[in-house]
Structure 1
Amino acid sequence: MTDLDDADRAILDHLRRDGRATVSELAVTTGLSASACSRRLRRLEDTRVIRGYTAIIDPKAEGRGLTAFVAVRLARHQREHIQRFQAGAREVPEITECHHVTGTFDYLLRVEVSDLPAFERFHADQLAALHNVAQFVTYISMTDFTDS
């Protein structure tokens, strides 16, 4: 669905900032009636423009105080090898995001662990064991200011 109007975009913008907003709050934001806003919201959900709702959890509260981004280059690019890598990455709980990207590397992983020794264990036991990995480069996040 690509035919979003200004009211749809206002609903999406508000939900991006507050996923728990009520239909009444969305109606005020958009200037629509609650029933019109509810219909639009249902349509956005039914057409999968809105794919779901989630809570954003502070990783530190869960003992995941260190975030690393790992760029991964695969050795082989045949579909079976790509699928095996992706299946393996899905099974590793420390990998919280996995993006297939263009450029020098094939994947960019977001990894959350408690601290540097935990990352060292992840590096040796999990990352190195993933299928078809030829090379990886790690970037440790020092500050996350996107949510401050």
Structure 2
Amino acid sequence: MDRLVEGAVAEALRTGDDGAVRLYAAACAERAVPLFIGMRAGTPDRETDVDLCVESLRGLWYADRPLPDAAERVRVLEDFPELRPYEDGITDVAGTYAFFGVLVLRYALLANASADADHALSCGHVALTAMGLLDQNLPGGAGFRAEE
């Protein structure tokens, strides 16, 4: 599969230290997780989910060490409706953007726990895809992907 993440970034992640991988994943999450937060804040029965995302985002910035409960956070995220397959798929705009936010956070937490460059690259790929989708759907082509 072709990746949106540039080759030089991929190489730096593969040859860099664990902190660089974690920091990259945190930066990707910082850009994309607010899509979930913004789409689900104030939604009945989703306050705990929003709180988990906010707390996880904050914890990801401590790139010198993995979050001790990253695997548990991933497990909880995988139970979010956005990541559970269902017959009709996601058909609404808010659901689509919320999906991207959760998926980026999932990969960011995996990268944080493992310091695996491939998880970080997947995180970057999803974040860039989300920003590209925003560009296509906002009037005037917002340029979010170019900023990434």
Q: Larger strand proportion, structure 1 or 2?
A: 1
Q: Would you say same fold, with TM above 0.5? A: no
TM-score, normalising length: structure 2: 0.24
Q: Larger helix proportion, structure 1 or 2?
A: 2
TM-score, normalising length: structure 1: 0.24
Bigger radius of gyration among the two: 1
